[in-house]
Structure 1
Amino acid sequence: MLKKSLIYSVCCSAMLSPLFANASHSFAATHEQATVTANTLNLRSNPSTKSSILGKLHKNNKIEIKNEKNGWSQIIYQNKQGWVSSTYIKKEKVKSTGATLAQKTISYAVVIANKLNLRTSSSTNSKVITSLVKNTKVTVLSVKGSWSQVRTPSNQVGWVANTYLTESKSASKPVDSSPQLPATSKPSTSNIGIVNTSGLNVRTLPSTNGKVIASLSKNTTVSTLAVNGNWTQIKMSNNQTGWVASRYLITSPTAQVPFSSSVLKGKTLVIDAGHGGKDPGTSANGMSEKDIALDVTKSLVKRLEASGAKVIMTREGNTYPTLEDRVDIANQHDADIFVSVHVNSGPPSAAGTESYYDSSKNPQSAEGKMLATEIQKQINTLLGTANRGVRDKGFYVIKYTEMPSVLVELGFVTNSEDAKKLSSQRNLFAQAIYNGIIAYYNKQ
């Protein structure tokens, strides 16, 4: 993330001169933004190929350069910091105004983190006064190293880390455009929530006095940002934020939306709805496998395409591609991954989710196992299904495909509890698979 320099002045008070003089050196430098040019670029702990890998960047990711050393660049990407080879990034310089802080006016800044602690002093060891939410505008009073002293819209004064502020171009008085969290509030322990009621009002404030800005239907998936008492701040699919009553959200601390869905851009994914046409698959409780699989995969495809992936479905309606057809579709399109969706059957007591990969023929079995593990974890957490494990078995469609491939059995249509979920929560199954795919790519 590119942060513009925060700019200040001594013109407001001679008492602030020493602070601004000290700050001018650290904030007068030129900042640079860059774009990753390699398909995959390792983010390392130190400027050396012998250092540990912290993560991976992908082509066209935007990064901020902090420092350069012997052909390496120290960068920040999505709040992660590390070193990358300068060969595989393209820089674009964004210059500061070039004047010293002493020649500028005190600026306003905007919080760019989902939650930013306001502290009593310029140290992470100091007491948290309150927490500011994203897009809160503050007045910057002084700078000390990597910290800024700010005044909030409610006139509280404290210190925040510069990393999570960006300069506001507006010279008007800060407006509390995003409600501030009181000191008793805490960040949400989950990054995703599922609406469990029909017609859930989204409000501008964490109160029934807040204006209603949207209404969400049951099973809608949202991102959770923060918690304030009995209210949760959320971000909807259109990126609009607001507050909802927490009791109407299903959340889980381990069912997180992975940290970047941009990893799907440029990926080719083949999604297979099991059975179809003349082959209904298993049936029970008024449902057939082919219908459940198609509903879930259609919902999944929408999410994947919205994240920039190229998605090919082996079937889009009530047709029956042969097993060979499904394999050929994946291999001929040189897919990055293949996911086949099914449901299970058995005695009424049998319940839960199973995810499969193949190690007998599939050349990417290790990656397939990793993908299966992430999908399995997300389904178990989001849906609350029993964990029947990740298994190695040579199902045709995952055995003869040439990329990381997974066959997932969502649940048992013959089990009363699983059947309820397979009937009413198909979008949630799709969301879980989507989360698993993103988590897989972010761990590569």
Structure 2
Amino acid sequence: MGIAKFCKATIGGLGAALLLTAGLATTAFAAETVTTMATTAPLNLRDASNINGNVMDVMPQGTSVAVHGMTNDGWYHVTYQDKEGFCYYQFLNFEGSQDGTVRDGKTTTMYATDPLNVREQPNTDSRILGSLKVDEGVPVVAKHDGWFTVTFNGVEAYCYGAYLGFGQGGYKADPPSEATDSTMNQLTTTAPLNVRTEPSTNGTIIGSFSAGTTVNVLDVAGDWYQVKFGNTTGYVYSLYLS
């Protein structure tokens, strides 16, 4: 399992393969190229780059945090109020909101960590405008739901953010994460499973997964997992995920 590699240029255009990431890349991130991003929802700060990392703090929505880099499976290495830890990529944006608005107007150069398709729209069905080579830089101005808005050959375009990093040569967390297995971010349903608006049986059912479905897990709330469900998020009971 592992986070879906939606933009891999080398796999049939769509690149909808799954990647098992054995660990982080080997080159340290250059501290002087740190960028600032903003939380788009209350966001857990964890001591490891996976959903089982201990929650050290909760960063309120709209909080600016210093970002040192991003692991290959989508965890940002950040500093918040002198605490250094990790948070999941989906709820950090470039000083903006979930609609892609950039408050500070800055452009951040990011670098492809794998061959990466550049698309006309933020989805895998969109036309491919070109591709980035490993370590090739691209200006990034915003992010929404995992897709980064970039400037490519003078036009606005999109890349899947899990395969863009802040430095050339890859990224290594410093201090390193104790748990780097990207399979922590995806689990499989062992039975038909309801998706609810809240981590409780009192939450409204917004849909369901069939047995054997691979589910993208975003966070842990007691005995419940927050998961990706279509274009939104919801909660499922952890007993039926493995």
Name which one, 1 or 2, has greater alpha-carbon Rg: 1
- Shared fold, TM over 0.5: no
State the TM-score, normalized to the length of structure 1: 0.16
State the TM-score, normalized to the length of structure 2: 0.28
Higher strand share: 2
